[in-house]
Amino acid sequence: MDLNLTSCHMMSTQMAEQIATSSTYAKLTERNNYQRRSIWIQAKRIFRKRLLSRITRNGTCNMALALDVKSTRHIKESNLDNDESSAIVQRLLAPVLQQVFPYLNIYDRMRLRRVCRLTEEIFQHSLISLPPIKLQGISLDSIEIWTDHSDLIIQLLVPEYNFKLETIVDGIITIKDWQAELLVQRIAKRVDCIEHLWLETAINGELCSALLKSVSQTDLVESSRWRPLRLDRMTIVGSDDDDCEVISEVVRYFSSSIRELCFRHICMDFGIYCEEFWTLEIGGIEYLSSSILSKVLANLTIRNLAIICPRIKFHSYLQDGINKALKNLETLLIQCTTSFDLDSLVEREYVIKVLQEMPYNGLLRIIHISENNVGQAARIMSYWLEIACETTSSIKLKLSGISQNRIDQAVGRLLRKCSNVFKVAFKGSSLMLTCGKGSVCILDKYMWFGEDDED
């Protein structure tokens, strides 16, 4: 019996060992391990996706933050560099802008006024020049503004005005008289040079007064301007006796810069308001005679005289004591029409006497109106060359009414036919011919007296 139990126990043990070592049991264990391992891999995949998204967001934020910090640091460094080299940049910038500034149009120059504190050197050496402007009255309270730059008036000088379309026709602006006074004040404050101011209104005195008032305010210490206002040319038409005092104040204020002053239809005693005139130009007065001219020239030291009037001829300067004024003249301008007789010995004698009354270094300027004919032009040139040779003087001749091509042909004909005439100098605007000790400078058609000197 015991034997059987023992044998049974041994058999069960062998069977258990056999079961434990069977392939089925081993595969079950491996399967369980595989399942546990696959679950862990799946979990890691899920966690990895979540971690990657979070890391990406954090990395992006960190990168943006790093870029912001880097850019901020770069800006701070550049600001420090700019602060350290600001003085150098300003010193280098001003001369460059100073070279560019004269080539800018007037609109850009006016806008650069806003940064004048940063570019002080520019405004000390460069001018803002206002183109010619004409104020003409059309009624008791309306004034027209004539200028080539109407946008300048609208946008920069008086931008606070809302100009209606009907007030601007073909570039001509119509304003009220009180607006004209304000416009003159703005001109005095916002520009450096006025090329030509033409006043032809019923309130010329008020406009001159507004100009003087604005200039006096800008000249004060608390609101000093960059430089004194300059006025090159001024024309005043139609003023009465009450305006003479303020007009004389304007002339006296701009006496250092004004080059041309023209009065028309104005009654004025020059002896009261003017101490000295250097240049006097009178033109277009039909009934101006030598007696009236002598009264105008009395007690005046005129240096440059130009009279273009129908009744003033060469013999007029030898009458009524006008020859005394000739002794101080530097230049004398006379116009000869087509009726001037080149063959008249009497007229020739008058011309020679006038030249003899002038100083040795005096210059006679002739505007000779000619027909558009080469032969006539050559005769005129020959006439003035003979006068210059006989008086050993210098004459400047401008032919009018003839083309430049005919003038050149006349010069060539004169040089071919006259052996004693020589061409000694030639510029882009004038030609110098000599005969003996006299000389005649022939101006081109589109040049004026004085412009050839600039060349």
Digit-by-digit pLDDT tens for the chain (455 residues) are 444 444 444 444 444 444 444 444 555 566 556 555 665 566 556 556 555 555 555 555 555 545 455 555 555 555 555 554 444 444 445 566 666 666 666 666 666 655 555 555 555 556 678 889 999 988 878 899 888 877 777 776 777 677 776 677 887 888 888 888 888 988 888 788 899 999 998 888 899 999 998 888 765 544 455 567 889 999 988 877 677 788 888 888 888 888 888 877 765 555 544 555 677 777 777 778 888 888 878 777 788 888 888 889 999 999 888 888 888 899 999 999 989 999 999 999 999 999 999 998 899 999 999 888 899 999 999 999 999 999 999 999 999 989 889 999 999 999 888 888 888 776 667 888 998 889 999 998 878 887 766 54
Cα–Cα distance measured from residue 271 to residue 298, given in angstroms and rounded to the nearest whole number: 9
pTM score of the predicted model: 0.47
Cα distance between residue 366 and residue 354, in whole Å? 13
Please check whether residue 263 is in contact with residue 248, taking contact to mean a CB–CB distance below 8 angstroms: no
pLDDT for the residue 287: 79
pLDDT at 15: 45
Q: Is-contact 451 406, C-beta < 8 A? A: no
One-character DSSP codes across 267-298: ---HHHH-S--SEEEEES-TT--HHHHHHHHT
3 state SS of 423: strand
Q: What is the DSSP letter of 319?
A: S
- CA pair distance 312, 287, nearest whole angstrom: 9
Spatial distance between the Cα atoms of 121 and 119, rounded to a whole number of angstroms? 6
The pLDDT of residue 118:
53
Beta bridge partners of 291: none
Strand-pairing partners, residue 280, are 305
Residue ranges of alpha helices (H) inside 101-166 are 106-111, 120-125, 150-152
Q: How far apart are CA 205 and CA 266, in angstroms?
A: 12
* 196, β-bridge pairs: 233
Distance CA 408, CA 22 (A): 133
Tell me the CA end-to-end span of the chain in Å, nearest whole number.
Answer: 153
What three-state secondary structure class fits 305? strand
